[in-house]
């Protein structure tokens, strides 16, 4: 499967490495033509306001919206979770999110850079805990009826799935454990 | 997560808004941009906390602030203010001529400048989480940034080709810890992200730094010392993303008005890049 990694800004290469480890073929996506050539898309961590602007200026906003509404599998981590959410709280007024998953996300919900943390997560469907790295992380404030919450921190959902769309508030690409990426590839296959 | 992004110097909340609106991934809050520090002379210190708080209040993106080299109390104050990153910066007047800050003693992550790989690895061994090639801040002249970036990435490439015995010699030559040299030999990259700073003024400069291997760029005086900061800031953000796409670079470079004037390195009374050890 050819899996695009949105390469406008953020942690692109670690995702590509995780995907290669699992036998998928990663491809950077910066243009509408590149988006048209992939079967699924990872939206990496980065700064969601920056990504939102670059999606507009690169002409990807419309095509991305279309692909997501026609059911393209997608995996958003950290800022990527914000980009894929239905609603962004504490975002900027002009910040766009794409409604691929029915959740409301609060930006920088766990605080500033110095409040970044790591935590062992109990993930539904995984036998052993998963070590999550949270950097200026968002969390989910509200989930729609068709969204499964797979993991939470202090009662706040941090890993959610809805059909072929998976979102994580943490950075599974920064640890060598590939199980969360596998969940995405399995959901999308 | 700053990779692939542009970090912009700002001196007040209004500039911080322009930077965020343009798509900056972070802002560097400081009292004077480097070109003004260069012009005014005197001792350049940490910014007034009130000014940093003013910038924090209007932005939703990370805020960085500069401490003087070796001035760990300025860094303590910046950490207490809740800035997201501290830049131990040669642009300010050094407070210690032998010691950099022991960055392991802090929770807040540090970015530090380097002109070569040895300097980068010494900063990493002191606890820096990010390295930026220094360039020559406040000149609008990219030549030093290119020199420093090429020096760092060139030596990394050579170390990946060295044999085990040669790694000891590399550690001696670079005055850097052997384990870090061995790690570079294995991975072919710095153990922390490598950014580029110092003299970038136009979108093509940002793309040049990215093509030379930088993972993000700092733009200081180049934006707010130009005629149209907002348009220039946006163009540099787009150039940093589409750094491999010349037709896109041509598009975003169009009609930005005059860039900052710029200085020849040979004409400088004071070079910032020499500060730090």
H or E segment and range at residue A158 = strand A156-162
pLDDT, one tens digit per residue, over B82-100 is 999 999 999 999 999 999 9
Least confident among B190-194, B208-212, B249-253, B261-265: B261-265
pLDDT band at B9 (very low <50, low <70, confident <90, very high): very high
Least confident among A19-28, B98-107, B265-274: B265-274
- The pLDDT assigned to A96 comes to 86
Least confident among A90-99, A121-130, A137-146, A178-187: A90-99
**And the tokens for B192?**
């922390």
Contacts of B245 (CB under 8 A, 6+ apart): A30, A31
pLDDT band at B101 (very low <50, low <70, confident <90, very high): very high
DSSP A131: E
pLDDT band at B261 (very low <50, low <70, confident <90, very high): confident
**Mutate: best of A8, A46, A50, A107, partner B, most B CBs <10 A:** A50
B27: nearest Cα among B3, B7, B46: B7
Q: Residue A136: beta bridge partners?
A: none
Say yes or no for a CB contact (<8 Å) between A78 and B1. Answer: yes
Of all residues in chain B, the percent with pLDDT exceeding 90 is: 88
Q: Is there a contact between B18 and B230 (Cβ–Cβ < 8 Å)?
A: yes
The SS3 call for residue A36 is: helix
Q: Is there a contact between B75 and B88 (Cβ–Cβ < 8 Å)?
A: yes
Q: In chain A, which residues have their Cβ closer than 8 Å to the Cβ of B192?
A: none
Q: Of A13, A15, A17, A78, which is the active-site residue? A: A78
Pick from B1, B24, B107: CB nearest A114? B107
pLDDT, one tens digit per residue, over B161-184 is 999 999 999 999 999 999 999 999
For residue A75, is pLDDT > 70? yes
Report domain extents, chain A: 2-186
Distance CA B220, CA A184 (A): 40
**Dihedral sign, Cα of residue B255, residue A50, residue B7, residue B152:** negative
DSSP A156: E
A10: nearest Cα among B273, B4, B51: B4
pLDDT, one tens digit per residue, over B111-124 is 999 999 999 999 99
- Interface size A-B, in CB pairs within 8 Å, comes to 86
Mark whether B66 is an active-site residue.
yes
Query: Would you report the helix, strand and coil content of chain A in percent, each value rounded to 5?
Result: 30, 30, 40
Q: In chain B, which residues have their Cβ closer than 8 Å to the Cβ of A16?
A: none
A140: nearest Cα among A182, A175, A109: A109
A54: nearest Cα among B204, B252, B18, B64: B252
Distance CA B98, CA B95 (A): 9
Say yes or no for a CB contact (<8 Å) between A57 and B238. Answer: yes
Say yes or no for a CB contact (<8 Å) between A49 and B84. Answer: no
**Mutate: best of A10, A46, A56, A57, partner B, most B CBs <10 A:** A57
Q: Is there a contact between B60 and B13 (Cβ–Cβ < 8 Å)?
A: no
For residue B58, is pLDDT > 60? yes
Average pLDDT, chain B: 96
B205: nearest Cα among B227, B223, B193: B223
pLDDT band at A189 (very low <50, low <70, confident <90, very high): low
Say yes or no for a CB contact (<8 Å) between B23 and A54. Answer: yes
Pick from A91, A113, A171: CB nearest B84? A113
A183: nearest Cα among A165, A157, A156, A158: A165
Q: Is there a contact between A39 and A131 (Cβ–Cβ < 8 Å)?
A: no
From first CA to last CA, the distance across chain A in angstroms is 8
- The pLDDT assigned to A117 comes to 94
Say yes or no for a CB contact (<8 Å) between B2 and A47. Answer: yes
Say yes or no for a CB contact (<8 Å) between B1 and A10. Answer: yes
pLDDT, one tens digit per residue, over A122-167 is 999 999 999 999 999 999 999 999 999 999 999 999 999 999 999 9
ipTM associated with this complex: 0.88
A152: nearest Cα among A176, A168, A164: A168
- The pLDDT assigned to B220 comes to 87
pLDDT, one tens digit per residue, over A19-74 is 999 999 999 999 999 999 999 999 999 999 999 999 999 999 999 999 999 999 99
Contacts of B204 (CB under 8 A, 6+ apart): B239, B249, B253
| Domain topology for A2-186 | Rossmann fold (3.40.50)
């Amino acid at each position: 499967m050819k899996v695009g990694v949105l390469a406008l800004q953020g942690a692109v290469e670690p995702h590509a490495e995780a995907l290669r480890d699992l036998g998928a073929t990663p491809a950077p996506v910066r243009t509408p033509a590149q988006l048209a050539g992939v079967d699924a898309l990872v939206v990496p961590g980065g700064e969601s306001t920056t990504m939102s602007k670059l999606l507009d200026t690169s002409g990807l906003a419309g095509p991305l919206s279309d692909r997501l509404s026609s059911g393209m599998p997608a995996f958003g981590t950290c800022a990527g979770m914000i980009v894929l959410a239905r609603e962004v709280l504490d975002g900027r007024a002009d910040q766009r999110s794409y409604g691929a998953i029915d959740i409301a996300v609060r930006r920088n919900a766990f605080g500033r850079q110095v409040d970044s943390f790591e935590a062992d997560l109990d993930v539904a469907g995984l036998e052993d805990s998963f070590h999550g790295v949270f950097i200026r992380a968002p969390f989910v404030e509200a989930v729609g009826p068709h969204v499964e919450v797979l993991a939470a921190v202090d009662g706040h959902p941090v890993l959610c799935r809805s059909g072929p769309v998976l979102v994580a508030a943490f950075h599974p690409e920064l640890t060598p454990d590939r199980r969360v990426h596998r969940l995405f590839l399995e959901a999308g296959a | 997560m700053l990779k692939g992004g542009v970090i912009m110097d700002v001196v007040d909340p209004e500039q911080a808004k322009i930077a965020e609106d343009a798509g900056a991934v972070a802002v560097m809050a400081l009292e004077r941009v480097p070109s003004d520090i260069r012009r005014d002379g005197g001792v350049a210190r940490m910014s007034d906390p009130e000014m940093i708080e003013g910038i924090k209040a209007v932005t939703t993106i990370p805020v960085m602030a500069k401490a003087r080299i070796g001035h760990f109390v300025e860094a303590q104050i910046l950490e207490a203010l809740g800035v997201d990153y501290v830049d131990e910066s040669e642009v300010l007047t050094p407070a210690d001529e032998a010691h950099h800050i022991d960055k392991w003693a802090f929770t807040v992550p540090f970015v530090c400048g380097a002109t070569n790989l040895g300097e980068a690895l010494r900063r990493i061994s002191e606890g820096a989480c990010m390295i930026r090639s220094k360039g020559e801040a406040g000149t609008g002249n990219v030549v030093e940034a290119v020199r420093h970036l090429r020096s760092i990435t060139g030596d990394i490439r050579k170390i990946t080709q060295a044999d085990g015995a040669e790694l000891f010699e590399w550690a001696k030559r670079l005055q850097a810890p052997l384990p870090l040299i061995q790690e570079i030999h294995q991975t072919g990259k710095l153990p922390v992200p490598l950014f580029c700073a110092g003299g970038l003024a136009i979108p093509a400069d940002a793309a040049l730094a990215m093509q030379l291997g930088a993972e993000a760029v700092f733009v200081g005086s180049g934006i707010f010392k130009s005629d149209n900061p907002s348009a220039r800031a946006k163009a540099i953000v787009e150039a940093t993303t589409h750094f491999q796409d010349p037709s896109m670079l041509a598009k975003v470079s169009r009609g930005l008005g005059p860039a900052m004037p710029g200085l020849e390195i040979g004409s400088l009374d004071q070079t910032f890049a020499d500060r730090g050890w």
